[in-house]
Structure formats: structure tokens, C-alpha cells
Amino acid sequence: MTPARKQRLILIAIMVAGVAIAIGFALKAFQENLMFFFSPTEVAEGKSPKNAPFRLGGMVVAGSVRRPEGVKVLFDLSDYHKNVTVQFEGILPDLFREGQGIVALGRLGPDGVFVADEVLAKHDENYMPPEVNDAVMKGQALKKAADAK
């Protein structure tokens, strides 16, 4: 093997290793920022992650909004089958109200309360995020099935 050919092979090996490292970093970053969506029924049944952030969506239960102190807000989120209590510290979006579909981003606390870092409200009265709409429809079907028994 000539020295020039050996240098080319080493250069190609270094380039392949560099591309592999870059792909590894990209996949790691993607995995760390991946957030799955769960409905209140799935959270109540223990299907949500315990130590990882995820999105929780549903309808804000009428009469459930409580403001114990300062900017801390507690409210219940429902898919019309099960409810999950959400705790949020901060200013809620202007479009947040009872009976409206929302998506909250956060983690499940040790006491079963979802601690939200961010609350997203729909941008008009006719729109509902597809994940929330699917969760609500599924929850209503589960409630009808449970009521029929």
C-alpha cells in the first residue's frame, strides 16, 4: 500500500467517524427533547412517564380553577372520563378559561398532580389541538362504555 493511499484511507476513516459522532449527538438531542402526549385517562391509569416531561391535554373542568396564592393556579383537566389536577405557577394565556381545551407541558409530581411548566390554550373558539380532540373523543367513548355496563 502506497503512503498516499494509506493517507486517503485514514482521512476517509476520520470523516466516517466524524459523521457517526455528529449523528449520535443529533439523535441524543432529539431523544432528550422528545415529548409525548397523554390524555388524563392515560395519566390516571399510570401510562405516563414518571420522571420525564410530557404533554397533557384535555378540557378544563368547569368550577375547578383555584388560585391559592400569588400566581399559583390549580385546575382539573378532563377527557370526560378521568380528571387530572394540574398545578401551574405563572401567568395563564389570555384565552385560558373553564370548559376550554388546553395542552400543558410538564411532569407528573409524586402526589399525582401534574406540574406544568407551560400552558397552551387554543387560539380561537373553534379550534382544538388534534391530540386534545382525539383524547376527548376517546374519553367520551370510554365513559359511554362504562355507563352502559
Terminal C-alpha separation, the chain: 79
- Determine whether domain 37-148 maps to CATH 3.40.1050.10: no
The mean pLDDT values, 10 residues at a time, for the chain of 149 residues are: 89 95 91 82 87 88 89 91 92 86 90 91 63 74 75
pLDDT of residue 143: 74
Q: Give residue for cell 412517564.
A: 49
pLDDT of residue 124: 56
Q: How many CB atoms lie within 10 A of CB 59?
A: 22
pLDDT of residue 128: 61
pLDDT of residue 107: 92
pLDDT of residue 15: 96
pLDDT of residue 136: 73
